[in-house]
A and B are shown apart, each in its own frame.
Chain A
Amino acid sequence: MSKNKEYLIKRGNSEYEVIIGLEVHAQVLSKSKLFSDSPTNFGGEPNTQVSLVDAAFPGMLPVINEFCIKQAVKTGIGLNAAINKKSIFDRKNYFYADLPQGYQISQYKDPIVGEGSILLDLPDGEKKVGIERLHLEQDAGKSIHDIDPQNTLVDLNRSGVALMEIVSKPDLRSPEEVNLYIKKLRSIMRYLGTCDGNMQEGSLRADVNVSIRKTGDKKLGTRCEIKNVNSIKFMQMAIEYEANRQADILKEGGSIDQETRLFDTKKNETRSMRSKEDAHDYRYFPDPDLLPLELTDDFISKIKKEIPELPDEKKKRFVDKFKLTPYEANILVSDIETSKYFEDVIKNSDIKLATNWITGELFALLNDRNLEISQSPISSKNLSSLINLIKDGTISGKIAKTVFEIMANESKDPKSIIDEKGLKQQSDPKEIEKIVDDVIKENPKNVELFKSGKDKLFGFFVGQVMKKTDGKANPKLVNDILKNKLN
């Protein structure tokens, strides 16, 4: 990586490198909770998705949801990580109104997934980011402070929902790398169907660990943990703020206190939540209600067989087989639905054109209307026929854009639009010749000027022919015939 692209914080003569590690909390995509059979739907009326287990009634016991275990193992495999055949659920003890048990069931010393890695595509090559571990835990409920002026209200719908905590190594070095890391992680989990990655609904959030050190130093600086940041933009802003805050302290000869901080999205700053001294003593110990979780080789190998082609492999295939550039391939594989759409389109049409139309016109349209590709008004089948109509000369690329616009609004197939609107390209040489003759006859002055050497006027003649044909004349034929007649 070239020096000038590094993200560094400068203070006087000192340059600081920013060291970032993420603890991502990803909600497991599953119908029911980690230890109960309550549903996990988003946005339900408060306390309508709560079982006696979730609300920690006396004598209620947790029973592991096997599907959530599968999802965690699947994700582990997707992160090229070691699957631990034995893992243990611990209790993390603390009191809070939205934590009904008075403890969170989580994996502490023995997580279900061990070390792995994620590849990031940086402009100047790939970067491997280490994964420290992935463990399963219960989500807490939600305390609502702003409905009742006297009381805090508690919604336990989320209580007990399965989360995967995915801890990265401190391998990230800039807000942009964090952006790419989150996007790649989300992409992998969506491919696997293990997390929908929906940050608006809180399915993906992260604790961000930030420290800085002078460039060239080997030893890590003291880190601060910024809790529960729920968008990539906020993560980047928080890192930016936090790295600069730390640099200011070091510049003044101060030292960083290890602490937990909160990011205030309104003021765009982090502020101290609690110091290391005030840190909770969670009194972790193995949950005696649950036996150690033991996975058989058979269980793991069955899951391995269910793993689909993941973004990195798919990208390689797109480059090798379809001769896409790595950049194009990256764009097309980052979202599984996009890659499916692309592969549907190219089943029956030109790859190069398809790539351009999807990454160009289609993405612009979706972006404009704020739509997912699955909601695209233009089906892969219709885009495929549009491309074929360009390829076989039925319409020009220019007309195609008009047709595309109509397709975007009317969701019709391109052929019927072309027929209805009479947009078909005029490719009969005799007809075009007639029009060319008319144009030459009507513009004797310009013909003279052209013949005397004013080459630029050729475009004028093309334009006149197109005008007379409403742009439908086959541009190649127009060119050829004009050249013939004028010379």
Chain B
Amino acid sequence: MSDIINLTLSALIDKIKNKELSSQEITKAYIARAEKSKNLNTYITTDFENAIEKAKKFDEKGNFDYKLPGVPLAVKDLFCTNNLKTTAGSKILSNFIPSYESTVTQHLWDEGAILLGKLNCDEFAMGSSNETSFFGNVESPVGKKVVPGGSSGGSASALAAKLTPATIGTDTGGSIRQPASFTGTVGLKPTYGSCSRYGIVAFASSLDQAGPMTHDVSDAALMLDVISKYDTKDSTSVNFKRGDYFKSLSSNIKGKKIGIPKEYRVDGMPKEIESLWQDGITLLKKLGSKIIDISLPHTTYALPAYYIVAPAEASSNLARYDGVKYGYRSQGENLISMYENTRSEGFGDEVKRRIMIGTYVLSSGYYDAYYLKAQKIRRLIKNDFDEAYKSVDAILTPSTPSSAFKIGDKTDDPVSMYLNDIFTVPVNLSGLPAISIPAGKDKNNYPLGLQLIGKAFEEQNLLNISYSMEKELNFKNNLQDWWIK
């Protein structure tokens, strides 16, 4: 059994296709491990019985040509799943069972994957440590009482703890890459418009993007092949020619020009992050890439702009949770008091904080000073990247300004929590693809990640560079299974 859970996704698929392993054996192995890993609190909802049933069916008459033949997967609880509770980590949706399936998860099942259950996340994906979930904190397998990052914290933790061979998360300001970095896993945020947003509980519509979280870069490419598809049900979905990412993986990156943005050398950045980045640069040179110093002058404005745009959109997106149609409803003597009670009781503090910020920045008299200005900054940040991409193919930065922290360390200081996203947020504001790969460890033996930012719709390039780096980095998490009961 331990062999199964230690396999990468692509290795697992090979074994299924070779009939070395059955879908049932694999599914049961992951379920057994999940049962022993409950104290990580990665799952909000499990669907194990159905999963075993589906695996049985797959073994009887499954299609082995599928890309994910009989592979059990758990996904972030932000994806609506037909007939299975979808909470977005919130009390207000704690009883919500969709009658429909998100496009992205549908693609997984269409390629033969089997749903294990729904993974914990920050409430409405608002958070960087998974501490805003109504369903409790998630512990990271990298250390006791350590946060897995957020908002796809349950996904990162479940993946690193080997409770699922791969998973998908969503990334609005770093929610895939930061937890990947904190847990020693690979997280890819595709170009905005690559993966359909249909059926994903919205946080900030112009920034949200689903993406794979995997053990290695090959697996990320494989998952991207499955989930990146044009969808007419999402008006922001882009109909571009998608690559055959997994098959086209190449570790030859000779002559690639990699930009190093000076603005990402922030004050107070720990030495270990600084040297991680330096080692990455050295490695890329060794692999035949050309290192070019670049400037992204408006980087410093990215975080404030993000914390205007994202809450603004969220304040409107979350207006539908009013107790009228579905989800949690409180009582009230009239409509207004029902609204107030429902939303006061149904939302957690961080969500309320962002709704208030968003409502404020959209208010008449403040709109121009905040929202409109933030949109202009967003344009400038995008222009910075466009300018840089005239001379480079990709950009290398650290994924996060620090390694994982302890649960409770930052909950009283939202700004220091927000600063976690400082390297990831500019990417969302520009709609670009970026990947975080594990590249080293800090003094506590907690993983550290490097981020590669690519040109729009050039995920293949990004995957190839990280693929070649990954081979040389030879990162190993070496977790001690301390949480297993």
In the bound complex, what is the Cα–Cα distance between A64 and B80 (angstroms)?
Answer: 22
Inter-subunit contact B234/A61 (CB<8 Å): yes
- Chain B, range 237-266, C-beta contacts under 8 Å to A: none
Name the one of B235, B359, B364 contacting A289, with C-beta atoms under 8 angstroms: B235
Task: Write out, one digit per residue, whether chain B residues 315-340 have a CB within 8 A of any chain A CB (1) or not (0).
Answer: 11011101011100000000100010
Q: With A58-B88, A59-B80, A59-B201 as known contacts, state yes or no: A100 contacts B367, CB within 8 Å.
A: no
Is A397 interfacial (CB 8 A cutoff)?
no
- Of A49-57, A131-139, A266-274, the stretch lying at the interface with chain B is A49-57
Determine whether B232 belongs to the interface, using a CB cutoff of 8 Å to chain A. Answer: yes
Q: Does A457 contact B (CB under 8 A)?
A: no
Report whether B316 and A93 are in contact in the complex, using a CB–CB cutoff of 8 Å.
yes
B313/A59 in contact, CB under 8 A:
no
Q: Which of A55, A64, A91 contacts B325 (CB 8 A)?
A: A55
Q: How far is the CB of B399 from chain A (nearest CB, A)?
A: 26
Chain A residue at smallest Cβ distance from B206: A288
CB-CB < 8 A to B318: which residues of A?
A: 102
Q: Let me know if A265 is at the binding interface, CB within 8 A.
A: no
Decide: A59 and B102 in contact? CB cutoff 8 A.
yes
In the assembled complex, the Cα of A284 lies from the Cα of B359 at a distance in Å of 11
A290 to B236, CA, bound (A): 7
Residue pair B364, A102 in contact (C-beta under 8 Å): no
A95 CB–B CB distance under 8 Å = yes
In the complex, whether B297 has a CB less than 8 A from a CB of chain A is no
Please name the residue on chain A nearest to B340 by beta carbon. A95
Is B373 in the interface zone, CB < 8 Å from A? no
B174 within 8 A of A: no
For residues 133 through 187 of chain B, which have their beta carbon under 8 Å from a beta carbon of chain A?
A: none
What sequence of 0s and 1s flags, for each residue 69-99 of chain B, a beta carbon within 8 Å of any chain A beta carbon? 0000000000010000010100001001011
Shortest distance between the CB of A148 and any CB in chain B (Å): 14
- The answer to whether B319 touches A101, judged by C-beta atoms less than 8 angstroms apart, is yes
- Knowing A59-B201, A97-B335, A281-B364 are in contact, say whether A102-B235 is a contact too (CB < 8 A): no
Rounded to whole angstroms, the CA-CA distance of A60 and B339 in the bound complex is 21
Chain A residues lying within 8 Å of B99, measured Cβ to Cβ, are: 52
Interface centre among B96, B197, B315, B322 (most CB of A within 10 A): B322
With a CB–CB cut-off of 8 A, which chain A residues contact B234? Answer: 61, 63
Residues of A with C-beta under 8 A to B320: 56, 58, 100-102
**Residues in chain B near residue A102, CB distance under 8 A:** 316, 318-320, 322
Residues in chain A near residue B211, CB distance under 8 A: none
Complex Cα spacing A103 to B314, Å: 12
Which one of A96, A97, A285 lies within 8 Å of B316 (CB-CB)? A285
Bound CA–CA A55/B322 (angstroms):
12
A293 and chain B: residue at smallest CB distance: B235
State the main secondary structure of chain B at its contact with A. loop
> Which B residues are CB-close (under 8 A) to A58?
80, 86, 88, 93, 96, 98, 201-202, 320
CB-based contact B363/A57 at 8 Å = no
Interface positions of B from 356 to 370, Cβ below 8 Å from A: 359, 362-364, 367
Residues of A within 8 A of B322 (CB): 95, 97, 102
CB distance from A143 to the nearest CB of B (A): 9
A57-B316 contact in complex given A63-B235, A283-B364, C-beta closer than 8 Å:
no
Partner of B319, one of A52, A103, A281: A103
Does B48 make an interface contact (CB < 8 A)? no
Residue in B closest to A143 when the chains form the complex, CB atoms:
B335
Q: Are B367 and A57 in contact (CB under 8 A)?
A: no
> Is A486 an interface residue when CB atoms closer than 8 A count as contact?
no
A278-301 vs B, CB cutoff 8 Å, 1 = contact: the mask equals 000101110011110000000000
At the interface, yes or no: A62 with Cβ under 8 Å from chain B?
Answer: yes
| A:16-74 near B, CB below 8 Å | 52, 55-64
Contact A59:B325 (CB < 8 A) given known A281-B364, A283-B363, A285-B371 = no
- Among A96, A102, A154, A281, the most chain B Cβ lie within 10 Å of the Cβ of A102
- Contacts A58-B96, A63-B235, A285-B371 hold; do A152 and B316 have CB atoms under 8 A apart? no
Report whether B316 and A59 are in contact in the complex, using a CB–CB cutoff of 8 Å: no
Nearest Cβ distance between residue B172 and chain A, in whole angstroms? 12
**Given the complex, which residues of A lie within 8 Å of B201, measured CB to CB?**
58-59
Establish whether residues B316 and A56, one from each chain, have CB atoms under 8 Å apart when the complex forms.
no
Contacts of B205 on A, CB cut-off 8 Å? 288-289
| A64 and B235 contacting across the interface, CB-CB below 8 Å | yes
Q: Which of A65-104 contact B (CB under 8 A)?
A: 91, 93, 95-97, 100-103
The docked-state distance in angstroms from the alpha carbon of A93 to that of B320 is: 10
Contacts of B102 in A (CB 8 A): 59
Q: Are B316 and A91 in contact (CB under 8 A)?
A: yes
Q: Does the CB pair B325–A56 fall under 8 Å?
A: yes
Nearest CB in chain B: distance from A151 CB, A: 10
B319 touches A63 (CB 8 A): no
- For A289, list chain B residues within 8 Å (CB): 202, 205, 235-236
Among candidates A59, A96, A290, residue contacting B202 with C-beta atoms closer than 8 Å? A59
Any chain A CB within 8 A of the CB of B200? yes
Given the complex, which residues of A lie within 8 Å of B200, measured CB to CB?
59
Residues in B with CB closer than 8 Å to A64 are 235
- A63, B325: Cβ atoms closer than 8 Å: no
Q: Which B residues are in CB contact (< 8 Å) with A55?
A: 325
CA distance A283 to B318 in the complex (A): 14
| A95 near B325: Cβ-Cβ < 8 Å | no
Bound-complex Cα distance A39 to B86 (A): 28
Q: Which residues does chain B contribute within 8 Å of A60, judged by CB atoms? A: 198-199
Question: Contact at A285–B236, with CB atoms within 8 Å?
Answer: no
Contact A61 to B362, CB < 8 A, known contacts A95-B339, A291-B236: no
Given known pairs A59-B197, A63-B233, the reply for A288 and B363 (CB within 8 Å) is no
The residues of A with any CB-CB pair to B shorter than 8 Å are: 52, 55-64, 91, 93, 95-97, 100-103, 152, 154, 281, 283-285, 288-291
| A/B interface sample: 11 pairs, CB < 8 A | A55-B325, A57-B325, A58-B93, A58-B96, A61-B235, A102-B320, A103-B316, A152-B335, A283-B363, A283-B367, A284-B362
The 7 A-B residue pairs with the shortest CB-CB distance, nearest first, are A102-B319, A283-B362, A288-B206, A288-B205, A59-B199, A56-B320, A58-B201
